[in-house]
Structure 1
Amino acid sequence: MPNLTAVSVFLLRGFSAVPELQLLSAATFLLVYLAAVLGNISIVAAVTLDTHLHTPMYLFLKHLSLVDICSMSTTLPRALVATVLGSGEISLLACASQLFAFVCLGSTECFLITSMAYDRCLAIYRPLVYQAAMGPRTCTSLVAAAWASGLLFSAFHTANTFSLPFCSPTIDHFFCDIPPLMRLACANVDAHETAGFAVSGCIIMSCFALTVLSYVRILATVVRIRSTAGRWKAFSTCSSHLATVLLFYGTGSSAYMQPTARYSPLQGRMAAVFYSILTPTLNPLIYSLRNKDMQGALRRLYL
């Protein structure tokens, strides 16, 4: 990848454009970060140690929690330290590494969510063949494919972004992300933006379409169940995942599915708070509040 940039060090603006709000924002996000890490570590520990949770659904959930821990740790700690110290400097290599890790983890989460939708669809639509179809080898292959696909997807976006020449070092964001970096480019970004949209659109829309098709099949199966209790039990097994799907695609699309020319720094920071901070924080709550198996495992873990 040719190094065409004249910038060797970037300057991150932080959580807020108002200096007086920086420390307050940092204190708030520190508490949120600690809560998110504790919640996701609890999910990982409970699934790992409790044999009752050694099923495909909880295997995917464990990896989803691992992704959430790593994703938040990629962006928040550095932003918090920079806010406290009053210096948001980040080197070109560190910025590229942060972007690579964040995009990799976000896309891996997308693939994991799709695998979880397929798992729930198979469990409800074809329960008699579920155990055979979702064996350990299949689950391991799906998880490995999610991580490998995330790495490839991230490698493309990192190369596509950092092959641009940058004229300004000030990133109007609290971490290195694609839209604010594109705004700093000296050259015409249309070709890079089109390539990014094409690749992202094909992959993300494919995952979204597969998830929607899985839920269409789930809904069609649930409707045919005669008893109300049976329908409720079937739907409750995928309600937590459905909430995660809506949260993930709802917050992510608001940040990335718009041209660079229409990008607003304030809206970008707000969207980033939702998809990079609140979503990983809420996922453990979503999967534990209504899940009796997870609640029991967490009680056994801490009591």
Structure 2
Amino acid sequence: MDEKNQTIFGFTLLGLSEKPYLRMPLFSVFMAAYVLCILGNVLILILISTHSQLHTPMYFLLGNLSAADIWLASITIPRTLYSLLSQDLSISFHGCFAQLYLFHMVGNMDSFLLAIMAIDRYAAICRPLHYTAIMSRRTCSGLLISSWIIVNFNATLHTVLTSTLSYCNRIIHHYFCDIPVMLTLSCTDTSTNEMVLFTEGTLLVVAPMLIILCSYVLIIRDILKLCTSKGRQRTFSTCSSHLTVVIIFYSSVIFMYFRPRSLYSEAYDKIISVLYCMITPMLNPFIYTLRNNDIKQAVKKVIQRGSTDGQ
């Protein structure tokens, strides 16, 4: 297929399943998950913006993570819902690579945000007297801006490399345009793409992972110095939500992108991608809400205020 045909006809996204009787059940599940994701993350953003006790670096970063999760879910799920409902499986060439670009930019930003949040937890637990200076608004903003620049460059590079391939097959056995599945459609040599995906992807994933690992090693070291088990439990509880999100996020990303092309599996890739595209963004607000006393107190105040106004 030449470039002209690619541009005109684009690709066909087969979605999660080719069986017609599964479309409505899948639509219902995805719609419910998407609504929960949007409502949960919007609630986090509202609570952080309207409650002064949440105007701290930790919640500033959590707000950014919630915004990124809304964006990440919105890149893939609405298009999937539309396909399930309308049975229109086509996506334009430019639309496909715009989706690929946005997905990798925001997905990598999630990784950077988790690393910055780990630094925040380290500073709060291990350097409490210097916490305000270490995690100032200027420092947080600088880290966020630098991260956006890096992930934008990375997403642009992969999008350009992938879009310049020749595609002999335009049928995508997936529900969104992603690099691994696009490489399987190409009839040209993809070794350069695979090498760049592995090397640069390793840097962008491993570097944040090492930051998180080092932060928690230092945190655990300081926690073990506490005299009482109750003190250790209370201190570590401030990290448990973040650590849970880190484990879910990185386990799925590593499986998806750090393996040989020969191990590509359509079924497993769809399941894993659903985990980090839909399940993780949906669960994050609940994980932070249920395990965070400050957020729970803010929610209680909103409920009490609503009850008072209703009376």
Check conservation: 1:124, 1:234, Cα contact below 8 A: yes
Q: CA shift at 1:17, angstroms?
A: 3.2
Deviations 1:204-233 (A, max 9, x none): 111111110000000000001112222112
Q: CA shift at 1:108, angstroms?
A: 0.5
2:6 aligned partner: 7
1:257 aligned partner: 258
How many angstroms apart in 1 are the aligned matches of 2:4 and 2:154?
A: 22
2:279 aligned partner: 278
Q: CA shift at 1:100, angstroms?
A: 0.6
1:225 aligned partner: 226
What one-letter code is carried by the residue in structure 2 that aligns with 1:97? A
Check conservation: 2:100, 2:178, Cα contact below 8 A: yes
RMSD: 1.3
How many angstroms apart in 2 are the aligned matches of 1:6 and 1:185?
A: 14
How many angstroms apart in 1 are the aligned matches of 2:24 and 2:257?
A: 27
How many angstroms apart in 2 are the aligned matches of 1:30 and 1:89?
A: 20
How many angstroms apart in 1 are the aligned matches of 2:150 and 2:41?
A: 23
Deviations 1:169-220 (A, max 9, x none): 1110011111111110010111210111010012211111111000000000
How many angstroms apart in 1 are the aligned matches of 2:6 and 2:170?
A: 6
Check conservation: 2:14, 2:173, Cα contact below 8 A: yes
Check conservation: 1:7, 1:167, Cα contact below 8 A: no
| Structure 1 unaligned spans of 5+ | none
Q: CA shift at 1:4, angstroms?
A: 5.0
1:167 aligned partner: 168
1:141 aligned partner: 142
Q: CA shift at 1:31, angstroms?
A: 0.6
Deviations 1:97-148 (A, max 9, x none): 1111111100011000000001101111111111111111111112222222
Check conservation: 2:122, 2:215, Cα contact below 8 A: yes
How many angstroms apart in 2 are the aligned matches of 1:226 and 1:149?
A: 42
Mapped pair 1:121 → 2:104: no
How many angstroms apart in 2 are the aligned matches of 1:153 and 1:191?
A: 15
TM normalised by structure 2 equals: 0.94
Q: CA shift at 1:6, angstroms?
A: 4.6
Percent of pairs with identical residues? 35
Deviations 1:56-98 (A, max 9, x none): 1101100000000011111110111111111111101111111
TM normalised by structure 1 equals: 0.96
1:23 aligned partner: 24
1:96 aligned partner: 97
